[in-house]
Chains A and B, each alone.
Chain A
Amino acid sequence: MEKFLKSKSANYVLPIAATVVLLVLWELVVRLFKIPEFVLPAPSAILAAWSAWSGVVIQNSWVTLSNTLMGFAIALVTGLLLGFLIGYSKVAYTTLYPLLVGFNTIPKVALVPLLAIWFGIGTIPAVLTAFLLAFFTIAVNVALGLATVELEMQDVLKALGATKVEIFQKVGFPHSLPYLFASLKIAISQAFIGSVISETVASNKGLGYLIVSASSTFDIPLAFLCLIVLAIMGMVLYGICVAVEQRTVHWVR
């Protein structure tokens, strides 16, 4: 038993077993206590919803996925540039950092109605909300990566007469990579939250919209199905970011 717990397969077997146990318990509780479907649908009912609605769900999942990825991509570029700027320039840091913190504390869901007024409903507010939620994490982490370069590491290059650009290329940039990749797995989840929030408020497409519309017609199994798809999508996106991180910054110990 102890040997199994230390083995690699335990990492897969244990969470899958827990999920199965949870689903079985869930099914039993719903059946034993005769809980109505519009309060809590049993896993079997959710499965039935999948066979009825799979086409619609898949179609809307693509919308959510593309909104998330577009928002994430814009957040990545903006976050990198901002991070380099405030990480390298003391003036930019002093000027921009308080503004960024202030902006970041605004609950982004409050911005969605405004975005909908400016850009109409649909893709644009979803992408923008995803971007707005995600870029701050990336910017702050990249800046931190640049700011924490050991002085001696820079001295090695300075003593060779390296220019500022060279010091950035050889030390600053690679040093900030682990910070960047650590932030990506958080940022992708934030982008995901952003696009779903926006879809629930200002869209007629996407999983967020589908949940709202299913709830309003009391099709609770469909709403639950969407939630489960969201959970799986979120985990896959997170997993991809972790895999990329482990491959690119394997030298971090």
Chain B
Amino acid sequence: MLDSQLAPTGQAADQRMPILEFQEVSLEYEMHGRRMTILDRISFAVGRSQFVSLVGPSGCGKTTLLRMVSGLLPVEKGTVYFQGQPIRGPLKSVGIAFQNPVLLPWRNTLQNVLLPLEVVQPHKRQFQEKRDRYTKAAQDLLRTVGLANFQKHYPWQLSGGMRQRASLCRALIHQPEVLLLDEPFGALDAFTREEMWEMLQALWQQTKCTAMLVTHDLREALFLSDVIYVLSPRPSNIALELKVNLPRPRTLEMCFTDEFHHLFTELRKHIHRN
């Protein structure tokens, strides 16, 4: 929908241009009087509608990269481009979900999902007028994630998995082109997590957004991604770029195939602790 407005030159050219590009991105900061390098000249590009994961040891700066895309953290060294433009602040075409679902406790599920539309233009301007349409869009999303019957429930009435699903709906309601996921399922139990993978895959295929996932779970990364970047310990750089060519939609049975296992071993080999 937005593509056509931003790229009148044609779909094909637009498809080939990376939607996100990291160019020589570094991050240093001072701790106890010592200068620490967290990220060391990281460069990679993410194609439109791709699902990309970042994995690596704790403290290697995965979340930092995500925060740079969201505009929550300024990029001091190097540049992050969104559709060819350097990112200098929050972008309305980015949706974000954290490990903690951070739903607003005073809003019910539906109201929580609608929140971005009350803030992001042009929806904010049209919110009163198009309220019914927005509500319907939110209800459609909630139905996709199996929360159709929980619209009027408050966060304290939902389970951890349900809250996270609502949080994903909120991240997607304003039809962002980039979906950022910071360990969104990290706090869930193993079985719920696997359910969430399938649900997230369905949402991603439905919305055709570009997704960038930070995770510690290698199976999760393999299940969901087109490309996985393994970051090395500090000062981090990209240790491995792994393309995952498993067919879509992926199923949990695929996790038990030799091919999946082979990729898993390859990935694990490249992860080293700090």
Interface positions of A (Cβ within 8 A of B): 150, 152-153, 155-162, 166, 170-171, 174-175, 177, 249, 251-253
Report A-chain residues with C-beta under 8 Å of the C-beta of B120: 160-161
The answer to whether B92 touches A161, judged by C-beta atoms less than 8 angstroms apart, is: yes
- A-B contacts, 18 of them at CB < 8 A, read A150-B102, A152-B98, A152-B100, A152-B102, A155-B96, A156-B98, A156-B102, A157-B115, A159-B70, A159-B90, A160-B90, A160-B116, A160-B120, A162-B119, A170-B104, A170-B115, A249-B106, A251-B105
Bound-complex Cα distance A174 to B104 (A): 9
Complex CA–CA separation, A162 to B104 (angstroms): 15
- Apart from A159-B70, A174-B104, what 18 extra A-B contacts exist at CB < 8 Å? A152-B102, A157-B115, A157-B119, A160-B90, A160-B92, A160-B116, A160-B119, A160-B174, A161-B71, A161-B91, A170-B119, A175-B106, A177-B106, A251-B106, A251-B154, A251-B155, A251-B156, A253-B156
Instruction: Kindly provide the distance from the CB of B174 to the nearest chain A CB, expressed in whole angstroms.
Output: 8
Interface Cβ pair total, 8 Å cutoff: 60
Interface residues of B in 58-96 (CB under 8 A from A): 70-72, 89-92, 94, 96
- Complex-state Cα separation, A35 to B100, whole angstroms: 66
Closest Cβ neighbor of B98 among chain A residues: A152
* Pick from B90, B98, B104, B115: contact of A161, CB under 8 Å: B90
Of B90, B92, B118, which one neighbours A170 at CB under 8 angstroms?
Answer: B118
Chain A nearest CB from B225 CB (Å) reads 22
Q: Nearest Cβ in chain B — how far from A79, in angstroms? A: 21
A161–B87 Cα distance when bound, in Å, is 13
Residues of A near B116 (CB, < 8 A) are: 160
Closest residue of chain B to A169, judged by CB? B118
A117 to chain B, nearest CB (A): 47
Give the distance to chain A from B2, nearest Cβ to Cβ, in Å.
15
- The answer to whether B119 and A161 touch across the interface, beta carbons within 8 angstroms, is yes
* Chain B residues positioned under 8 Å from A162 (CB to CB): 119
| Pairwise interchain contact A159-B96, C-beta atoms closer than 8 A | yes
Residues of A within 8 A of B154 (CB): 251
Chain B's nearest CB lies how many Å from the CB of A97? 27
Closest-CB distance, B152 to chain A (whole angstroms)? 12
Residues of B within 8 A of A (CB-CB), count = 25
B105: contacting residue among A159, A161, A252, CB under 8 A = A252
Residue interface mask B182-213, A partner, CB < 8 A = 1:
00000000000000000000000000000000
A161: which B residues are within 8 A, CB to CB? 71, 89-92, 119-120
Measured between alpha carbons, how far is A153 from B96 in the docked complex, in Å?
Answer: 12
Question: Closest approach, in angstroms, between the C-beta of A168 and any C-beta of chain B?
Answer: 12
A159 engages B71 (CB within 8 Å):
yes
B160 nearest CB across to chain A (Å): 14
Complex CA–CA separation, A249 to B100 (angstroms)? 22
Cα–Cα distance between A158 and B92 once the two chains are bound (Å)? 10
Which residue, of A158, A159, A252, A253, has the highest number of chain B Cβ atoms within 10 A?
Answer: A159
A158 and B106 CA atoms in complex are apart in Å by 19
Chain B nearest CB from A66 CB (Å) reads 33
The smallest C-beta distance from A30 to any residue of chain B, in angstroms, reads 52
- The one of B94, B118, B156 in contact with A159, judged by C-beta atoms closer than 8 angstroms, is B94
Q: Name the B residues within 8 Å of A160 (CB-CB).
A: 90, 92, 116, 119-120, 174
**Residues from 86 to 137 in B contacting A, C-beta threshold 8 Å:** 89-92, 94, 96, 98, 100, 102, 104-106, 115-116, 118-120
Chain B's nearest CB lies how many Å from the CB of A1?
33
In the complex, the chain A residue whose C-beta lies closest to that of B94 is: A159
**Separation of A170 and B71 alpha carbons in the complex (Å):** 20
State A152–B94 Cα separation when bound (angstroms): 16
Chain B: minimal CB distance from A19 (Å): 36
- Max count, chain A CB within 10 A of own CB: residue among B104, B106, B170: B106
Q: How far is the CA of A159 from the CA of B156 in the complex (A)?
A: 24
Within 8 A of A (CB), among B134-185: 154-156, 170, 174
Q: Could you tell me the distance between the alpha carbons of A160 and B104 in the complex, rounded to whole angstroms?
A: 15
A158 & B115 in contact (Cβ 8 Å cutoff): no
Q: Nearest B residue to A155 by beta-carbon distance?
A: B72
A251 to B106, CA, bound (A): 6
**Please, how many angstroms separate the alpha-carbon atoms of A153 and B103 in the complex?**
8
Q: Report A-chain residues with C-beta under 8 Å of the C-beta of B119.
A: 157, 160-162, 166, 170
CB contacts (< 8 Å) of B90 on chain A: these are: 158-161
What residues of chain B lie closer than 8 Å to A158, measured between beta carbons? 72, 90
Q: Give the 6 A-B residue pairs with the shortest CB-CB distance, closest first.
A: A253-B156, A161-B90, A159-B70, A174-B106, A152-B102, A160-B119
